[in-house]
Structure 1
Amino acid sequence: MATPIVFLVDNGSLRAQAVIRLRVLAQALSERIQLPVEPVSLLHSCKVPIRELAGVPATIVKRRLREYLDLGMREFICVPLFLGPSLAISEYLPRLIEEFKQEYPDLNVRIAPVLAGVDLEAPDRRLAQILAQQVRALWGEAESRVALVDHGSPIVEVNRVRNVVAGQLAEELELSVGAVLPCSMERRPGAAYAFNDPLLQDLGQINQFAGGRLVLAMFFLLPGRHAGLGGDVADICDQLLTTGAFEQIETTPLLGEHSLLMDILEDRFDAVWYSAGA
């Protein structure tokens, strides 16, 4: 079997720091698996100004796949930098591949499992272990409430992953069941998406939870418009402090900054690489 082209695939961002961090992870994964790994986004990143990316433009899967197909390449592995089965990776990417197969019937793209793994009812425990290490580093001696925040998803399965990981985090921290409150940065309007509640901005309205010190476990991978310095989560935290909902809020680093994430990515690559008899 021909050596495949390997993509590390994220959703994409208009922020340069997300592209730069994706490149760091792709290089680290390349060193692990001893194959070149290209950082490629599904959408958006090709619009980031080149001057913000050290003169090296970002690219997207559709464009990069086309370039390789024109060169005669047919074997690819996509390693998703996604926590759960977002529509971007469960529907958009497979549909894009099928469109290319109409023109290139011999195209073979293997998509590795998402970071949570195959069993979404039992997500990879290492995600909770990363968060637990990060939370403990912020805990100190003062009693703290712990919440786990993600972006918020229209997909129940993605939300379920977050909620289960919140329970796993409570276990890792040796807290009681339900002690870690899962919440969303935002959600779509309407009762159909109420499974995302509570919102981060509303934590101050939960009487038994508000007040004192909050440690916020960030269920985000890369910096960008929502997470990281100056992101939406930081703005919401500032509002919670301004209104007196909490006396102090500490946020963990992003998951993409932790070395254990590379172990998970390597395992996801191996799952498709060795299953094909490589």
Structure 2
Amino acid sequence: MPCILLIDNGSLRANATLQLRNLAEILSIESGFKIHPVSCKHSNRIPESELNGRPAYTFSYFMEQQLSKGEKEFILLPLFFGNSRALTSFIPDEVVTLEETFGPITIKIADTIYPLPQGEEELSTIIYDHIIATALKVFNDSDRSKNYADLKNVVLVDHGSPVPRVTAVRQHLANRVREKLAENGANPAALEEAVMERREGKEYDFNGDLLEDWLIHKAEAGETQASVILMFFLPGSHAGEGGDIIEICDNVMKKYPAFKISISPLISEHPKLVSILYERLTHILQN
């Protein structure tokens, strides 16, 4: 049986590794196979005292340990929305380096969470559910049918990337979610898009608006509320408690006290994410 890794990009925040471990444990129970939580970078710098006394593993170190034990076959389950540079450059480069020491390695990489062009219906359902739940907090009303038609000022936010194919994933996902909104009686135009950060220059305009600029524009237009929907899997320096997005939203609300912002849960907080990962694992094992 190949060694199975659930792999993310990595973070210096302990909560990211703890949540990655939680996903791996749930998936291990669901699948009956041992799933190892591993990050591409960064997580090995988190103090063990913040990780319940267990060190976090980065890709190169974990692979060296397994290869030293004689393991040669691996399956990677990417916790990535699309084919980021971590999958197209970092991992292949690391494998080349490892093979120089350990010889040939067999690695199969499962589909990303939202592979283009087909996408992933379960992920669009997760985003849709988070929009409705977050909007209900804004409306402070439990009658969903009443509020669907009133939905507005919803923004889907990802990190931002200099790579167009990464932004294309968000755009494709947003369009599918708009279709779901329309199917359920909501205004599809209510859902807009933004990035947490982006590089300056017209060549990066494909990213769209910065979240901070989008929020300020809404506040200055006289709007009183907005819903920020996180296209992030795990907590870390950007999303979750103490992250950049909360800081951005808090700063805007301090500047515009009448403007209230609600932030959605992370993708990993929805049970359907494990279902997607389980399907990815089942598919690659069968093929």
TM-score w.r.t. length of structure 2: 0.89
Residue 210 (structure 1) shift? 6.4
Residue 209 (structure 1) shift? 7.2
Residue 177 (structure 1) shift? 4.6
Q: Which has the higher helix share?
A: 2
Contact 1:167 1:178 in 2 (8 A): no
Alignment-derived partner of residue 185 in structure 1: 196
Q: How does 1:9-158 map to 2 (within 5 A)?
A: 9-117=7-115, 120-140=116-136, 141=139, 143=150, 144-158=152-166
For the structure 1 residues 183 and 246, does the alpha-carbon distance in structure 2 shift closer, same or farther, using more than 3 Å as the test?
farther
SS in structure 1 at match of 2:233: coil
For the structure 1 residues 139 and 249, does the alpha-carbon distance in structure 2 shift closer, same or farther, using more than 3 Å as the test?
same
Residue 274 (structure 1) shift? 1.0
Residue 205 (structure 1) shift? 2.4
Residue 56 (structure 1) shift? 0.3
How far, CA to CA, are the matches of 1:153 and 1:26 in structure 2?
A: 27
Alignment-derived partner of residue 167 in structure 2: 159
Alignment-derived partner of residue 176 in structure 2: 168
Deviates more, 1:243-252 or 1:265-274: 243-252
How far, CA to CA, are the matches of 1:91 and 1:239 in structure 2?
A: 36
TM-score w.r.t. length of structure 1: 0.92
Alignment-derived partner of residue 219 in structure 1: 231
Question: Per-residue displacement from partner, 1:9-28 (whole Å, max 9, x unpaired)?
Answer: 00000000001000000011
For the structure 1 residues 233 and 74, does the alpha-carbon distance in structure 2 shift closer, same or farther, using more than 3 Å as the test?
same
The aligned amino acid for 2:81 is L
Contact 1:145 1:209 in 2 (8 A): no
Alpha-carbon RMSD across the aligned residues, in angstroms, is 1.9
Contact 2:26 2:274 in 1 (8 A): yes
Deviates more, 1:131-140 or 1:61-70: 131-140
Contact 1:18 1:224 in 2 (8 A): yes
How far, CA to CA, are the matches of 1:173 and 1:208 in structure 2?
A: 26
Q: Does 1:256 align with 2:254?
A: no
The aligned amino acid for 2:106 is N
State percent identity of aligned pairs: 34
SS in structure 2 at match of 1:106: coil
Alignment-derived partner of residue 251 in structure 2: 239
How far, CA to CA, are the matches of 2:213 and 2:257 in structure 1?
A: 9
| Aligned structure 1 segments of 4 or more residues deviating by more than 4 angstroms | 206-210
Residue 272 (structure 1) shift? 1.6
Gaps of at least 5 residues in structure 1 are none
Gaps of at least 5 residues in structure 2 are 140-146
Q: Does 1:229 align with 2:227?
A: no
Residue 100 (structure 1) shift? 1.9
Residue 164 (structure 1) shift? 1.4
Question: Per-residue displacement from partner, 1:28-82 (whole Å, max 9, x unpaired)?
Answer: 1111211101101000000000100111000101001011111111011110111
Residue 208 (structure 1) shift? 10
For the structure 1 residues 137 and 206, does the alpha-carbon distance in structure 2 shift closer, same or farther, using more than 3 Å as the test?
closer
Contact 1:122 1:164 in 2 (8 A): no
Deviates more, 1:185-194 or 1:213-222: 185-194
Residue 182 (structure 1) shift? 1.0
Question: Per-residue displacement from partner, 1:91-124 (whole Å, max 9, x unpaired)?
Answer: 111221122223334310111111002xx13321
Contact 2:154 2:229 in 1 (8 A): yes
How far, CA to CA, are the matches of 1:237 and 1:78 in structure 2?
A: 35
